[in-house]
Amino acid sequence: MKQWYEKLFENYGNSYDNENFTRGTVGECDLIEKEIKYNKKAKILCINKN
């Protein structure tokens, strides 16, 4: 038997990419990868200033 949250999010993946907070994500990731010269071992510190 599935948990309640599994049922709730069962088809959410289909609409996730259309959410406002996902817009521009690919471009942001591309920029970061370019800045770190595609170094997979680089560490990134994210500071939220909100």
pLDDT > 90 in the chain, percent? 36
pLDDT tens, residue by residue, 2-35: 899 888 888 887 788 888 988 888 899 999 999 9
- Euclidean distance between CA atoms 50 and 45, whole angstroms: 16
In this prediction the pTM is 0.54
- Euclidean distance between CA atoms 7 and 32, whole angstroms: 35
| Contact criterion met (CB below 8 Å) for 22 and 12 | no
Mean pLDDT of the chain, nearest integer: 88
Q: Which long-range contacts (CB under 8 A, 24 or more apart) does 29-36 make?
A: none
Domain boundaries, the chain: 1-50
